[in-house]
Amino acid sequence: MTAARETPDPGPDSGGVDDEDAAPPAPWHFKVLLVATALYLVYRLVWLVFWLAGHAWHG
């Protein structure tokens, strides 16, 4: 039987980022903008594929 090892608590001087120094979370409207941009780019990619199928490959 093996005993589980506990890692020691590094404490506040471990070189990590404190809560005061951490970057604030991204606002919700920025996340909505990212999702909308991704959806728009997918739409344009699908549009390009259909456009190429109708204009470029007549074989």
At 56 the pLDDT is 72
User: What pLDDT does residue 21 have?
Assistant: 84
pLDDT at 57: 62
- This prediction has a pTM of 0.57
**Distance (Å, rounded) from C-alpha 25 to C-alpha 29?**
12
pLDDT tens track, the chain, 59 positions: 566 777 777 666 656 556 788 899 999 999 999 999 999 999 999 999 999 888 876 65
Instruction: Residue count of the chain, please give it.
Output: 59
Contacts of 40 (CB under 8 A, 6+ apart): none
